[in-house]
Chain A
Amino acid sequence: GAGVSQSPSNKVTEKGKDVELRCDPISGHTALYWYRQSLGQGLEFLIYFQGNSAPDKSGLPSDRFSAERTGGSVSTLTIQRTQQEDSAVYLCASSLWDRGSGETQYFGPGTRLLVL
């Protein structure tokens, strides 16, 4: 079946502009995650959605970052008033949330954001 898809694949924006990044998880996966990976850096957790539960926003770096997940499927990560330090690859992942099996997250290809 299809994997996690993200759009756009690349985004160049000017400092101060807002951007929206989209994630389509694997069909049937109830859990959805957003991460950020800066050049040469490791993976940084941003936010997690699980079913109808309140999202875990503990990783969002500032209030300029927000995310929503509509209908338990597609998710949008919004960055308002972008700054140059927001430049990174934004990765989305989804998982079945099949407790007891050790969770495996399936990642999309990422959106490469460059803030000029």
Chain B
Amino acid sequence: LAKTTQPISMDSYEGQEVNITCSHNNIATNDYITWYQQFPSQGPRFIIQGYKTKVTNEVASLFIPADRKSSTLSLPRVSLSDTAVYYCLVGDEDDYKLSFGAGTTVTVRA
């Protein structure tokens, strides 16, 4: 898995958009970018995955520039329930040994 760097924490308020940028300068050609979310006392949950450009689902959007050396997870109009730790992972389909670092702790306040 390629090394990733993301902010340790971010604070936001309900209704705002939260953008978390992950740096992955050594991303390889076959690597995907995947984001997981983890609530306290729960296992991580897959939220979105992409390879290039933009991916959107019902939970979030993932923006990937042309050089793919970074990616930005965008959470639209966050609510208190979006308070969680968000992990960025980079790897190909054979990288099954997931390894999370500290992730980004997002705290949403009323």
Contact = CB atoms under 8 A, between A and B. Distances in A.
Interface in B41-58: 41-46, 49, 51
B93 A104 contact: no
A43 B41 CA distance: 14
B49 A31 contact: no
Contact of A107 (B45, B101, B102): B45
Given A102-B32, A107-B45, A110-B42, A44 B99 contact: yes
B43 A107 contact: yes
Size range of the interface on B? 20 to 34
Contacts of B59: none
A106 B46 contact: yes
Interface residues of A, number: 31
Contacts of A102: 32, 34, 49, 51, 92-93
28 contacts: A4-B43, A31-B96, A33-B96, A35-B98, A37-B100, A41-B102, A42-B99, A42-B100, A42-B103, A43-B99, A43-B100, A45-B97, A45-B99, A48-B97, A58-B97, A99-B93, A102-B32, A102-B49, A102-B93, A103-B93, A103-B95, A104-B34, A105-B46, A105-B98, A107-B44, A107-B45, A110-B43, A112-B41
